Amino acid sequence: MALNDEDDGTARTALRKSAFDPDDLALLGKKLGEYRVDSILGAGGMGVVFKGEQPLIKKTVAIKVLKRALASEPAFVSRLLDEARATNVIAHPGIVDTIGFGQAPDGRPYIVMEYLEGEPLDARLLAKGKLPVLEALRLANDILAPLEAAHSAGVIHRDLKPGNVFLQRLPDGKDFPRVLDFGLARYVDSTGRGSGIVGTPSYMAPEQAKDGDQTPAIDLYALGCMLYELLSGRLPFEAGSAWGVIELHLSKTPRRLDELVLDLDDEVADLVHELLEKEPSKRPTATRARREIARLLRAREEAATIGEQRRRPPSKSTAKAVEKKPEVEKKKVDPREAATVIGLEGVDVPLPAPKSARARATELSTDVHPVVADPSESSVKVDASLDVVQTGPGIAVWIGVALGVLLVVGALVILFG
Q: What is the pLDDT of residue 196?
A: 52
Above 70 in pLDDT, residue 5? no
Q: Which of 24, 38, 159, 175 is catalytic?
A: 159
- Complete domains list, the chain, with CATH: 1-115 (3.30.200.20), 116-307 (1.10.510.10)
Above 90 in pLDDT, residue 50? yes
64/32 Cα distance (integer angstroms): 11
Q: What does the pLDDT average to over 87-100?
A: 90
Record the pTM: 0.67
Q: What is the pLDDT of residue 45?
A: 74
Q: What does the pLDDT average to over 336-351?
A: 37
Q: What is the pLDDT of residue 88?
A: 86
Q: What is the pLDDT of residue 189?
A: 53
Above 50 in pLDDT, residue 55? yes
Look at 206 and 23; give whichever has higher pLDDT: 206
For residue 332, give the 3-state DSSP assignment.
coil
Look at 413 and 389; give whichever has higher pLDDT: 413
Residues 6+ apart with CB under 8 A from 127: none
Distances (CA, A) of 411 to 44, 399, 402, 404, 416: 124, 19, 14, 11, 9
How much is the mean pLDDT over the chain? 77
Give the DSSP letter of residue 337.
S
159 catalytically annotated: yes
Q: What share of the chain is helix, strand, coil (3-state, %, to 5)?
A: 45, 15, 40
Task: Quote the distance between the C-alpha of residue 330 and its chain's center.
Answer: 51
The closest alpha carbon to 65, from 35, 95, 96, belongs to 35
Q: What is the pLDDT of residue 6?
A: 45
Above 50 in pLDDT, residue 201? yes
The closest alpha carbon to 68, from 22, 118, 117, 122, belongs to 22
State which amino acid sits at residue 283: R
Question: Of 61-65, 81-85, 224-228, 271-275, which gets the smallest average pLDDT?
Answer: 81-85
Above 80 in pLDDT, residue 319? no
Alpha helix segments (H runs only) across 277-339: 286-311, 316-323
For residue 66, give the 3-state DSSP assignment.
strand
Q: Is residue 338 within 8 Å of residue 353, measured between CB atoms?
A: yes
